[in-house]
Structure 1
């Protein structure tokens, strides 16, 4: 199965979440090439992985799920847009972001964070 089919399966019946994911992919592509791997999460990688996307629906109130994005960056970013930051290596901080709307997915602040993560992925 190719990544396009896997992505379609991942978002089956979840058009709003798919639109958000596609906006994030478009933004990441503006920063250069990367590979996508689809498993329980969708990961973006270059020399190393730099982003992970998944849908969270613990309350089952949102059939589309709530899009989450984790970005690996070489330093912590303090912004209200980031839900949590965790240092998991000497020069790696994971930044968890809840993407609440298509406007968030297309925002300048998210594009800047994705750019930093894309640079981190170069190794």
Structure 2
């Protein structure tokens, strides 16, 4: 059975595993002060055509989603989403806990918000 519900549901592509094995053959300083992190940062800067950006790497999707929300919000804001939204259904309360914001879930027929639904 294949499930696309999460990137945690399957193994990685063989080329990714090969790169992990290769990176495991030597010693490297951890916590972002290593050549692997520098190469990833440079790849992101090249991709985005902006040498001034500093990407921050997180180990999972929930971490990435919460950091993105924190960058946009203050604790007195609300997160407006459909009741079926990934952020409401699959993140297990992390957004509210870590941002201090309330999730305002709006019922929809198709999982999509509209200005009219948000205004109600």
Instruction: Name the TM-score class by shorter chain.
Output: under 0.3
Which structure would you say has the larger RCO, counting Cα contacts within 8 Å and 6 or more residues apart?
Answer: 1
Which structure has the highest strand share of the two? 1
Which structure has the highest helix share of the two? 2
